[in-house]
Amino acid sequence: MTKLAIFGANGYAGDAIRSEALARGHDVLAFSRSGKPRAGSANTEIATGNIHDAEAVKAVAEQVDVLVVAMPAHEIDGKKLADAIPALLAISDSTGTRLAIVGGAGSLQVSEGGPKLMEGEKFPPIALPEATAHGEMLALLRGADKGRWFYLSPAMMFGAHAPQEPVGAYTLGGDVMIKDSRGMSAIGDKDYAKAFLDEIDTPAHENQRFSVIGAY
């Protein structure tokens, strides 16, 4: 059994990851900024936790094997998620706890050697702050010389705004956006959570960003 702490456990991805982890018999500590569960979720026990409180996060990290970061990357209350990365890496380095990060799709390349998805003319302007902030965070992770982490980018179509039916299977990729048999880049929360927990249970992408789509 693995012990996980999930920050952002009441979000779209965080709630699905928590459900999948519990279904696998893992021990889970759940945190959110509000301390309130996701509306309609069966996961009702959740504590208040701030990812930017390094001392509190370290105390949690000392109790778990994996620290899941499933929070928005854009600026909230004057801080971006990237601002917490140096402290999180230092905590990982000192405790041995692995950082498991719910990533973004905007920094994926549309083709080998091509531009990033978020650099395209059709990329929604409303999504650009989040995509840019994720890009900053990924750069910090890749430039670090300490800590253990993985960063899983979802398909382009992922989130409460673009729900997908679960298929129970997925396809992994790297830095280049991949597409399914329909020519789409999409994944639902349950299939994303399955890929995320598979990486936790059987590490294969140490200190790497990788990506995933549903196997439709």
* CATH assignment of the domain containing 201: 3.40.50.720
User: What's the total number of domains in the chain?
Assistant: 1
The pLDDT value recorded for residue 63 is 96
pTM for the full model? 0.95
pLDDT at 7: 97
On the question of pLDDT at 40 being above 80, the answer is no
* Residue 84 contacts residue 72 (beta carbons within 8 Å): no
CA atoms of 173 and 171, how far apart (whole Å): 7
Q: Token pair for residue 167?
A: 């298929």
**What's the average model confidence in pLDDT over 27-56?**
89
Q: Is the pLDDT of residue 35 over 90?
A: no
- The predicted-structure confidence for 81-96, as pLDDT tens digits, reads as follows 999 999 999 999 999 9
Which pLDDT score is estimated for 191? 98
Which domain does 119 fall in, by range?
3-214
Average pLDDT, the chain: 95
> What whole-number distance in Å separates Cα of residue 208 and Cα of residue 201?
16
